[in-house]
Amino acid sequence: MWFRLLLLALASSLIISFGCAPINVQHSYDNFTKFSQLRTYRWSAASLRAGEPRNTNYPAIHAQIRRAVEHRMALSGFTKVDSGAVDFIAHYIVAQQDQTRTLTKNITARGDTPIIQTVDVGYREGSLVLEMLTPDERRVLWRGWAKSEISPDLNPREIYPKIDQGVADILAYFPPK
């Protein structure tokens, strides 16, 4: 019985501790692009369609991603243009995937005999990829992405700050210095 309680306590503490997982951000870019000359952008048609109700169960989340990107881009001096010529195209992709993390811990219980406990913890990982493309959308100028553990139980008031933080963390690297 004590072993089951110990296992339950271990699993519960691990699940709780991973609920506040950090956002992992990376980026890459074309070294030959003169980012200082880029000023105007528009959304790719695919990014705009991604948030349409017929294409997703979460149109509000897609709208929040676009709002967060537009806000950060404006703070960096970029101007969104709905029609006409632009310097680059903004595009995003969102994905989520179920993952499993195997955790091990040495537990000494009753005496000096070590017990190695292994627990598989399931979680959902969300990814957001932001891309800046050439105006003809044939070449990636810059790409940034973030991955983080997400909870399917979050409501919009809890999700929106995570989206805003993820977008801010990604765009901290755009334009590259």
Q: Does residue 68 fall inside a structural domain?
A: yes
Q: Does residue 6 fall inside a structural domain?
A: no
Q: Does residue 128 fall inside a structural domain?
A: yes
CA angle 56, 28, 34 (to 5 degrees): 110
Q: Does residue 108 fall inside a structural domain?
A: no
List, for residues 24-66, the tens digit of each pLDDT value.
Answer: 898 999 999 999 999 999 999 887 665 555 545 567 888 899 9
Number of domains in the chain: 1
Q: Does residue 106 fall inside a structural domain?
A: no
What's the pTM?
0.72
Q: Does residue 60 fall inside a structural domain?
A: yes
Residue 167 CB neighbour total at 10 angstroms: 25
List, for residues 141-177, the tens digit of each pLDDT value.
Answer: 999 999 887 776 767 777 888 889 999 999 999 999 8
Nearest-angstrom CA–CA distance, 141 and 95? 21
Percent residues over pLDDT 90 in the chain: 41
List, for residues 95-142, the tens digit of each pLDDT value.
Answer: 777 777 787 877 766 666 777 778 877 767 778 899 999 998 889 999
Give me the domain span that covers residue 54.
Answer: 22-99+123-171
Q: Report whether 57 contacts 45 (CB < 8 A).
A: no
Q: Does residue 176 fall inside a structural domain?
A: no
Q: Does residue 62 fall inside a structural domain?
A: yes
